[in-house]
Amino acid sequence: MSAIELRGVAKQYPPREPGSLPQDLLRGVDLTVRRGEFVAVEGQSGSGKSTLLHVLGGLDREFAGEALVLGCDLRAVTDAELAALRHTQIGFVFQSFNLLPALTALENVLLPDFFGDGVPDAERRAREALDRVGLADKARARPAALSGGERQRVAIARALVARPPLLLADEPTGNLDARTGEGVIDLFRQLHREGMTLLIVTHEARVSHSATRVLVLREGRLHADGAEAVETE
């Protein structure tokens, strides 16, 4: 069973000025990602990588075409069902970490527990997740007291606390130095070995080298698919 199935997914932004043309962000993207794959999505700035990630994560419903994520038709479900999908099935990691400054590291990791039916045994899982990213001793620290790498690891722990089968990350090493970024990539490799499906938007080669499959987006189109390329080589 595939984790992701896209058929003819397209997205436009309305014209910025009257008389100008609408901006095509995604143009007829077809994609199948099997469960357990580690996919890197490359592309230049403005190529549609983040837009694709938002569509896949159910964060953006205004698109054309058909999108199934973990068997869920993203255009057919209600807003609440989509929220539940994000809550239990998808973990997100963002380039700018997006931690809530008023909460401690532990509370940030526990954030998914605040919503829906919560997360079973949330406190224990959150501490385990922090331990896994090497921040067990920073549980009570607020984001302002953490380094960039530590913040990103807290964000990854937050994405893992509900133990989702799919992890979506948008430039997760973009704001990290080489050494810290390598640690994050190692963590992704480990998650992949454990069977998690990962789709990482990146423009960094070191991330792509760790992936089992590399997609390249250019001007909203899927320009190259590393899996196919490997097969043809």
Partner 1 sequence: MKIGKLIRLARGNLVRELGALAVSAGGVALGTGCLVFFLALGAGLQGVVNQVFPVSTREVEVVVPQLAIGNLLGEQKIDDATVQKLRALRGAAAAYPKMQLRVPAVTRFSGPFFGRELRMGLEVVATGLMPELVGEDARMPFEDRGESQPIPVVVNRRLLELYNKVFAPQRNLPRLTDSMLVGFQIPLELGKSWVVSRSLPDSQETSMQLVGFSERATLAGVSMPLAAIRRINRKYGADADTYSSVLVRAQSADDVGDVAAGVRKLGLEIDDTERLYAVQIGAAVELVTLALSLLAALITVLAAVNTMQAFYASVRERTREIGVLRAVGATRGDVAAVVLAEAAATGLAGGVIGVVLARLAGALLDQLARTGLPEFPFKPATFFTFHPGHLALGVGVALLAALLGAFLPARAAARLEPAKALTES
Q: Which residues bind partner 1 (CB under 8 A)?
A: 50-51, 54, 57, 59-60, 62, 79-80, 83-84, 86-88, 92, 94, 98, 100-103, 107, 111-116, 118, 158, 162
Supply the minimum distance, in Å, between the C-beta of residue 124 and partner 1: 17
Residue (161 or 187) nearer to partner 1, CB: 161
- Token look-up 């932004």 returns 13
Question: Angle at the Cα of 111 (from 95 to 133), degrees rounded to 5?
Answer: 55
Instruction: Spell out where the chain has E strands.
Output: 2-13, 23-34, 38-43, 64-69, 72-73, 90-93, 166-170, 197-201, 213-218, 221-225
User: Which residues on adjacent β-strands are paired with residue 69?
Assistant: 4, 72
Supply the minimum distance, in Å, between the C-beta of residue 79 and partner 1: 6
Supply the minimum distance, in Å, between the C-beta of residue 135 and partner 1: 18
| Structure token pair of residue 119 | 């997360």
Residue (155 or 227) nearer to partner 1, CB: 155
Supply the minimum distance, in Å, between the C-beta of residue 58 and partner 1: 8
Residue (1 or 80) nearer to partner 1, CB: 80
| Structure token pair of residue 57 | 């994560």
Residue (156 or 214) nearer to partner 1, CB: 156
